[in-house]
Every structure is written in C-alpha cells, then in structure tokens.
Amino acid sequence: MGEFADKLAAQSPAFQRAYLGSLVPNLVKSENLEKYYQTLTDFDFLVAKLHHPEFGMQRLIEDYDLIDREETLNYSKYNSEKVRCLKLIQGALRLSAHILVTDKQQLASQLHGRLLHQKMPNDIRLFLAQIKQKTTTPWLCPLTLSLTPPGGRLLRTLKGHTNSVSSVAITSNGQQVISASHDKTLKVWNLATGEEIFTLKGHYFSVNAVAITPNGQQVISASDDKTLKVWNLATGEELFTLKGHHQWVNTVAVTPNGQQVISASDDKTLKVWNLATGEELFTLKGHHSAVKTVAVTPNGQQVISTSDDKTLKVWNLATGEELFTLKGHNSSVNVVAITPNGQQVISASHDKTLKVWNLVTGEELFTLKGHYSWVNAVTITPNGQQVISASHDKTLKVWNLVTGEELFTLNGHYFSVNAVTITPNGQRVISVSDDQTLKVWNLVTGEELFTLKGHYSAVKTVAVTPDGQQVISASHDKTLKVWNLGMGEEVFTLNGHNSLVNAVAITPNGQQVISASHDKTLKIWNLGTGEELFILKGHNSAVKTVAITPNGQQVISTSGDKTLKVWNLATREELFTLKGHSNSVSAVAITPNGQQVISAFHNKTLKVWNLADGKELFTLKGHYSSIKTVAVTPNGQQVISASDDNTLKVWNLADGKELFTLKGHNSSVNAVTVTPNGQQVIFAFHNKTLKVWNLADGKELFTLKGHYSSVKTVTVTPNGQQVISASDDNTLKVWNLADGKELFTLKGHNSSVNAVAVTPNGQQVISASNDNTIKVWNLATMKVIATFTGESYISCCAVAPDGVTIVAGEQSGRVHFLRVEKTVSNS
C-alpha cells in the first residue's frame, strides 16, 4: 500500500467517504490545480475511489471532467500538457469501464494495456511506473499497447447482454439508449456515462425490435414469444403485455402522436393497438406470408407493410382498411422507407432491386437496379432528395429520388452491409456490416471518411444521436459501442494481425513468439518487448497452426491452402513448401529430434516429411474421415492420430505402418496429448469425456467424466501426475492421472475455454476463453491469481520458459504479451 492508501485506511468510514467525495472538487475550487493533477495521477487514489461502494467507476471518471469548467482555463496553474495526460487517463478508464465495473482488480492491467505506448507523454510513463510499484497483488502486466487506446473515436462499450443485440433506439433527448437482445431482455443505458440503468425482463424468447414513444416516456418491445410489451422508461416497470399474435412479432412502430402502436408478425398480420389502454383496435389482414417490416407516414394516417409474399400494402390507420397493394417485386420485400413529405415509398427487396412508389396513387414510379444481391436496408435523406441502399453485395448505392438515377456506389465493406443511417444534417452516411465494421461516408462526394473498428462479430444495426455527434452500434458480439463522430484520426496504432489468431508458439530459448492468423500470415515477435520483428507471407489461405523445431531454427506452418511451409527463423526465408494433399492441413507435429514433420489432413491421411530436404517419406492411410489432431511420443518412435471417424490410431514412425487402433468411443476427438514419459495418451472428446490409454498395449485405462459439454483441449503437468482439461462448459478440470479421479474444478470463466497451458514448474495454469479473458490459476490453492480481459475472445495462449510471460491471441488479431507481476509462491 502507498502512503495515501495507508493514511486513508486508518480513518473512519465516514471520513473516507467525505474525503474521497470532496477532495478533488475542493482542489479545483481553491485553484490548487497542481494538487489536482497529483491526485488524479495517484494510483492509490484511483484504487480507493474505484473500490469505495458509494463512488465507483463513474464518479472517478467525473473527477477528470472538473478541469473542463470554463473558469479553470484562466487559473494561473492551468497546464494544458498535464490536462492532456489527465484526459488520456480518463479516456482509458472510460474504455475500460465495462470491465472494471465487474472486476476492479484489473485496473492496473487495463490502464497499462491502453496507455503503454512510446508516443505517450512522459507523465503517462511515470504514471504507469507508479502503478507497477504500488500494485501489491498479483496481476497481468501488458508489455505492449494491446487494448484500444484513448484519443480515438470509440468512447465506450456497453456490455451486459448475454446474446446478440438485435435492435437499438435512442430517446429524442439523446440521453438514453434502449437495446433489445436475443437474450430475451432489453436494457436501458445512460448514454453520457455508459451505465446500465435497468434491465427490462419479461419476454420468454428473443426480443426482435424496440421503439420509443415521441415523448420518450414509454418503450415498446416485440418478441419471438408472440407478444409486445409496453414499459415505463422512467421506472423500468412493465405497463402491459399486448397479446394476440399467433407467431413471433418481427417489428413495431409508433404513430407520430404516440397514441398507437403497429406490430408486424410472422402470422401474416399487423395489429394496431391503443397505447394508453393496451387494447387491440384492429387486425390488418391480407398478406399471404410473414410481415417483415412496418412504417407509418409522417401525418400518422397510413401504415405501409412489407411481406415475404413479395408485396407492400398501404392501410388506412383510422379504419384499418387496406387502401392498395403494391406489386412488382419478384421476391420478399425486406424493408421500406417513407419520404419526409409522406408522398413516396421506397421498398427494398430480396430480388436485388428497390422500387419507388407514389403513395397517393399506388403507382410504381421507377425501379432502382444495380445491386448484385438482395437489398437489406434503405434510408432517405432529410431533404427527401436521395435514397441510400445497403446490400448483401457488400456495397451501398446513392440514388437521385427525383430521377431514379444512381449517383454513386460506396465500396469498401468486405461482407454484407446490414444497415444504414444518415446524420440529421444529411451530410454523412453510416453503414454497418458483417465485416465487423462501421463506415462513415461523405454523402456529397461519396468518399469514405473513416472506418470504425472494435466489434468482433457482425454489426447488425446502428443509430445516430439527435445532435449527430455520436453513433451507437449493436453487434452479434453481445455489445453496443458508442462512437464519437467528431473526433480526429487515431493517434496510437496497435500491432497485430488483421484477423483471428489461430495459434501462438514460443521458441525453446524463450526469446521469440510466432503467431499464425486467418489473415494468411505469420508474425515473429520479440517476447521480451512485444515488438513485431517481421512478417512471413506466402500462404494463400488462413494459417491454422504453427510449430517450431526443438533447436528453434525452423518454423512449420499449416494452412487452408493445402500446404505446409518451412521457414528459416534466422533469415526469414521460406525454405520449401510441402505439397501433396488435396485438402486443407488440420494439424502438424515435429519429432523430438527435429528431423521429421507429420501433417494431418482433412482428406483422411497423414504424411511424414523429411525436414532436411522437404521430401515426403510416406503417407499414413487408414482413417475414413478428416483427421483432427496428431501427436508424437517423446521418444519420437510413434505417431498418434485422431479422426472424425471416431477412431484413434497409433503408427510406427520408422516404417509408417499402423500399430493398432484405439476403439471404444463414439465421438469425434478435439485434442490429444502424450504424457512426458511417453507411456500414456489422453484424448479429449466432443462427447464431454476424456480417455486415457496405455500406449504399450493400446488398452484403455480410464474414462474421465464430469464435464457437461465438449472438451476442447487437454494438457499434462510436467511431472506427468495431473491432467488439465478445458471445456465448452466454461470450466477446467484437474484429474489424477494415476487413478483417473477428478481432483477439482476450476470455475470462473463465463464462456467456453479454448486453450490451456501449464507453467514449467507445474504450479500454475493459464486458460484462454470466449469470455475475452485470460486467467492464471494457482493449482495448489485452486484459485484465480490474476485475470486480463481483452477485446474479443481469446483463441490461444502459451507460456514462456520463464513461467511468468504469457502470450495470447485474440479473435480480433491482437496478440497480448503479459507478465505475471507479484507472483505468490505455492510454498
């Protein structure tokens, strides 16, 4: 503990509360800015305020806003460079808020991961040095900038949903965001602070859509449970449930006067409801298939619906009468937009076209052709002169609504464009895509202004605040993100891959790391500094696995391009490409003497190669389905393969002959490992079990049961006495290898555990999970020592020979270099 913390801890709870609450405001009021700077860069103060039950993260963040008051600019001690440092710390806190709210112990690692950059001011470097000095409990210290730094356009992440976010709406005053999710809930968020105000629970299935009344007092949700619910936005209370549909409700709209709600359902109908009483006014029947979307004219007199029956229908909202049917599309009509004057309707269809209709006469004015796949979304500029369409063909198109002419195509996304919106001034377009990004475009020139990256799954919907300053995006990654449209370019760049990191490996001397990625490259890193040294390019598809020869001189990579490549680590030169398979390479292993490579392929075979000349020695045939994994015994004499044909085979490496088949299971194998003495082999199965076999005679010794879902990976402690398994059931289990009994379960992850590693001394276990975390466990105490949260799921991990340096790869392409600080001995 530091001096500040020691003094504060000696005081009464009442004094601590008053001191932490008044210290910073009083320093600003008294113009003692030097002390203000010192306080907000004192890590002990940050820890104390963060942990205090009456303050916490948001109150700490607000302390940094006090310097922004107009009068402080005239104070004699105002120092713009120090203010910049405070704003960087505040930005890092804001970006980490969704993590620190639930795990305050990560304060040190989150600040390091976002502020550790050579371009940071010297005061920031001193602040980080102070953190290392004052943090007394074990923690994972990032060696490089590997988390989103402050100063960019990402303001904060709204985290809390447990499934993908399907819809988002912003109140008219721009103060609150409401999100709807497939986790059956809605959440109400404070947009200024990012705090969750409440969760709206009551639906029994996915919530598909959300709408807010014009006065901002009520929220209406539509669900797969066939109902709509009306909620009081001030209290979070459910006012009533609107029942009547016979299939899931796809969308909902509110009339401009806020008095009526219109719902559209897969039961082929729309329903109009009285929002004051919850009474159903009438059912609009006429469609012959599911009703996809609904829109209300600006005067509130008409409703337009779109359907899978290839039509739109226009209804009189006062009487419930169908006015006319708009026919002309050749496939499902996905979405509709109405011009601000209420005179025209634009429909977007699965038939790759948009159509413009006269709402007064029902006449088709023209068809907008040009997309090469279905059109997902459409929006209209505030002046009603242009239409922007978003398509599955990866493009957006801008059209002149007066002439029907295509003005330009917006190219840049790599996958389907799911939604599009326009800023209130009509000058910028924001698109979201399955490529996990948002793009902001200049509507006048068609130029891409910038790309917003941060989501790690498809981005499905987007909304802009009424002032046009912020964008809220919602994704299948279960989060919402708040972006500032007005900020400048990113100041600090992050090293890493451009896509999922599939594997990481550390050289035997512990000096370098090799990472393999879906972006078709390998990267070589300095393990001590986290510096990227060079890139190995040559594969034409994702690089799946990587292995290093025992002497640390060569790297072998496998790829979806059906090849292996052998690289010289010193010269960075590709030595040769190993070809010969008709399918992608699924696994690779190197013999302990470093002379041979064994590759496993999806085409049911294994191949053994001579590493000296790259020649194929023999092909191992016998499996009837894809081979998932392969291992070599420590003496280098046998190869073990596991296949989707539910068999395991043991081969003699000297002659390539099959020794025996290990039978007795009815599930595919996810992983295999051999004990250090080479006497036993352990397999992890999709059917929730592990099996231990005697390699000498091929007999099954035990089945390890206890997991509740697929076992993803398995490893053995260096002394060969314990087995550690990781599962989709969110747990790790530790087993006694002598008798096959479960010793204990390591619980703490909130999602599947993808990878596990054991330190060389066998005392600690490192796990990587889909919950975005890396955890270090003490095997003696069965407790978590430290946790680090990344920004997407952690796909792989490795531990260096020193036992304290950890490398982990993310879905995002980031590679984290972490060192366990202040480790506690088991003794």
Residue with tokens 């269809």: 349
Cα angle: 422, vertex 466, 60; to 5 degrees:
120
Calpha distance 445→454 (Å, rounded): 26
Residue 488 has pLDDT above 60, yes or no: no
By percentage, how much of the chain surpasses pLDDT 70? 97
23 in a structural domain: yes
* Mean pLDDT value of segment 611-627: 90
The reported pLDDT for the residue numbered 480 is: 95
SS3 212: strand
For residue 696, count other CB atoms closer than 10 A to its CB: 9
Q: Where are the alpha helices (DSSP H) in 389-473?
A: none
**pLDDT bracket for residue 72 (50, 70, 90):** confident
SS3 729: coil
Q: What are phi and psi of 692, to 5 degrees?
A: -115, 130
For 607-616, write each residue's pLDDT tens digit.
999 999 999 9
481 in a structural domain: no
For residue 277, the Cα-to-chain-centroid distance in whole angstroms is 41
The reported pLDDT for the residue numbered 827 is: 36
The reported pLDDT for the residue numbered 482 is: 95
737: containing domain: 664-747
For 659-673, write each residue's pLDDT tens digit.
988 876 778 889 999
The reported pLDDT for the residue numbered 489 is: 54
Calpha distance 437→425 (Å, rounded): 23
The reported pLDDT for the residue numbered 208 is: 97
What's the CATH number where 706 sits? 2.40.10.480
Q: What are phi and psi of 774, to 5 degrees?
A: -115, 130
SS3 151: coil
Residue 399 has pLDDT above 90, yes or no: yes
Calpha distance 289→607 (Å, rounded): 54
The reported pLDDT for the residue numbered 119 is: 83
Beta-ladder partners of 779: none
Structure tokens of 202? 């009551």
Q: What are phi and psi of 580, to 5 degrees?
A: 150, -5
* CA-based nearest residue to 543, from 576, 502, 577: 502
For residue 91, the Cα-to-chain-centroid distance in whole angstroms is 20
For 244-265, write each residue's pLDDT tens digit.
999 999 999 999 999 999 999 9
CB-count burial class (<10 Å; 0-12, 13-18, 19+) for 315: buried
Contact 516, 546 (CB under 8 A): yes
Q: What's the domain count of the chain? A: 2
CB-count burial class (<10 Å; 0-12, 13-18, 19+) for 353: buried
Residue 825 has pLDDT above 50, yes or no: no
The reported pLDDT for the residue numbered 826 is: 44
Q: Which of 724, 747, 770 is the last residue of a domain?
A: 747
The reported pLDDT for the residue numbered 487 is: 60
The reported pLDDT for the residue numbered 67 is: 86
Strand 196-200 to 186-190 pairing: antiparallel
Contact 214, 258 (CB under 8 A): yes
671 in a structural domain: yes
197 in a structural domain: no
Tell me how far apart the terminal alpha carbons of the chain are, to the nearest angstrom: 23
Which CA distances in Å does 162 have to 180, 258, 326, 551, 799?
Answer: 11, 31, 40, 45, 30
Higher local confidence (pLDDT), 130 or 70? 130
CB-count burial class (<10 Å; 0-12, 13-18, 19+) for 490: middle
Beta-ladder partners of 335: 348
Q: Residues 459, 462, 465, 469: what is their CA dihedral angle, to the nearest 10 degrees?
A: 50
Per-position b or e across 429-464, b if 16+ CB within 10 A of its CB: bbbbbbbbbbbbbebeebebebebbbbbbbbbbbbb
Residue with tokens 């952690």: 794
113 in a structural domain: yes
Q: Which of 75, 109, 142 is the last residue of a domain?
A: 142
Q: Which of 747, 765, 792 is the last residue of a domain?
A: 747
Residue 618 has pLDDT above 60, yes or no: yes
Strand 783-789 to 627-632 pairing: unpaired
The reported pLDDT for the residue numbered 581 is: 65
Secondary element (H or E) of residue 628: strand 627-632
For 526-536, write each residue's pLDDT tens digit.
999 999 999 99
Higher local confidence (pLDDT), 80 or 707? 707
Residue 1 has pLDDT above 60, yes or no: no
Q: What are phi and psi of 615, to 5 degrees?
A: -85, 145
465 in a structural domain: no
Contact 334, 310 (CB under 8 A): no
Residue 40 has pLDDT above 80, yes or no: yes
Calpha distance 2→423 (Å, rounded): 49
Calpha distance 471→61 (Å, rounded): 21
Contact 312, 287 (CB under 8 A): no
Calpha distance 290→294 (Å, rounded): 12
Contact 667, 706 (CB under 8 A): no
Which CA distances in Å does 803 have to 110, 123, 295, 390, 562?
Answer: 22, 31, 60, 50, 35
**pLDDT bracket for residue 491 (50, 70, 90):** low
Structure tokens of 765? 């276990």
* Mean pLDDT value of segment 402-411: 96
Calpha distance 756→715 (Å, rounded): 7
Secondary element (H or E) of residue 558: strand 554-559
Structure tokens of 128? 């980080």
192 in a structural domain: no
Structure tokens of 568? 């010289």
Residue 428 has pLDDT above 80, yes or no: yes
638: left (phi over 0), alpha (psi -120 to 50) or beta: beta
105 in a structural domain: yes
Calpha distance 671→587 (Å, rounded): 10
